Amino acid sequence: MKKNLGTILQYVLFLGLGVGIIYYMLHEQTPEQQQQMINSIKSVRLWLFAPIFVIGFFSHYFRALRWKLLLEPLKIFPSTINITFAVLIGYIANLVLPRAGEVAKCTVLASYEKVPANKMVGTIVAERAFDVLCLIIITLLTCLLQASVIGSYAVEKFHKIVELITKNEVVLTIMITVAVALVFFLIRVYRRHRETKVGHFIKGMSDGVRSILHMQKKWQFIGYTFLIWLMYTLQIYLGFLGLPATDHLTILAALVVLIFGSVGMILTPGGLGAYTWLVAEILHSYNIDPASANAFGYVAWSAQTGILIILGILSLILLPIYNKKIRNAQVRMGSAQDLQ
């Protein structure tokens, strides 16, 4: 009961953070800037949503194929259609409640493939671990390639933070207190890391990466991973082309936006508010005016969320229909064999 209450409070807190960010972004804009943002949204080239939708589907399809590889050592061989439907249902569940998607896709797949759900949980940890590792690598490489842009952006933000701290003694006191408390917390976690959730996550991350490196089809797994991140990047790049103010930005800029957007997706449920804010902030460093940067953030978040909702609902509808047809076909085949 306490655990469920804690989960609900955590969800409400981060959902409130997302709503607060949206309110802050709109409140900071002048009426003229709000109108410019609306005009920028109206200028979106809608025909590009078709290829974005297709690419969005393939990003989830490749993720399903990658998960299928992780299940093979466990002697679990689900059909490609069922595992794709399960992944898409997991995404729509995550929009309702963070981390519920992992449980949902295991439960759905276990129900239709008649396999134990608990055996698949470890593969989810392995996937998460590998994705975190990929995000770190992509972030480092992108920061090196785009240092001239991101570097100046980071320096500018750092100077603003220093200026705020030096002018406000209360903020300085709070930050010192938090820093000291954080040091003591990290020391405690370090001493007892094996008994903490952080320690379990680190261990799971390490075990997951090792299991991937030692799997028989590791190059196929890595290939699917590359395709997943490529699809994510292409979605952003096509999004750039869809807005006149951003259609000159490059694929490297799309990678930068992908990184910041990924952080936003982690911070709040479904990236609500945080995704738009972080994406708009980094676009400012590419000399995109605030109205257009905010417009792109809202359009990109809406498009990605819309794709998940549409594909998730279709999966919920088609999954039982598909499996009913399969069962009926198996029954007919069994009857034919009995007659022979």
pLDDT one digit per residue (tens) for the chain, 340 residues = 545 555 555 556 655 655 666 665 666 667 776 788 888 888 888 898 899 999 999 999 999 999 999 888 878 888 899 999 999 999 888 887 767 778 888 888 888 888 777 777 777 877 887 888 888 888 888 877 776 676 666 555 555 545 554 555 555 566 566 556 655 665 565 456 555 555 555 555 555 555 566 677 888 998 999 999 999 999 999 999 999 999 999 998 999 899 888 888 877 777 777 888 888 888 988 889 888 888 898 899 989 989 999 999 999 999 988 888 877 766 666 555 555 5
DSSP result, 303-340:
HHHHHHHHHHHHHHHHHHHHHHHHHHHHHHHHHHHHH-
Q: List the one residue out of 27, 112, 126 whose CA is nearest residue 74.
A: 126
CA 122 to chain CA centroid, Å, is 19
Of the chain, the end-to-end C-alpha distance in Å amounts to: 57
Model pTM? 0.77
Q: List the one residue out of 217, 206, 205, 207 whose CA is nearest residue 72.
A: 217
Give percent helix, percent strand, percent coil of the chain, each to the nearest 5.
Answer: 85, 0, 15
Residue 10 confidence (pLDDT)? 55
What DSSP designation does 287 have? T
In terms of DSSP H, where are the helices of the chain? 2-28, 31-42, 49-71, 80-96, 100-113, 121-145, 147-167, 169-191, 197-213, 218-241, 251-267, 274-284, 290-339
Q: Are 295 and 276 in contact (CB under 8 A)?
A: no
**Cα–Cα dist 88/62, whole Å:** 12
Could you tell me the two tokens for 213? 């490196």
CB atoms within 10 A of CB 33: 15
CA 169 to chain CA centroid, Å, is 37
Identity of the residue numbered 174: I
List Cβ neighbours of 79 (8 Å cut-off, separation of 6 or more). 113
Rounded alpha-carbon distances, angstroms, from residue 304 to 32, 59, 199, 214, 281: 28, 11, 33, 34, 19
**Cα–Cα dist 276/8, whole Å:** 24
Identify the residue whose tokens are 């069962």. 327
**Cα–Cα dist 265/101, whole Å:** 14
**Cα–Cα dist 237/140, whole Å:** 20
List Cβ neighbours of 277 (8 Å cut-off, separation of 6 or more). 21, 24, 25, 264, 297
Q: List the one residue out of 150, 195, 145, 104 whose CA is nearest residue 286.
A: 150
Q: Are 244 and 68 in contact (CB under 8 A)?
A: no
Helix (H, G, I), strand (E, B) or coil at 116: coil
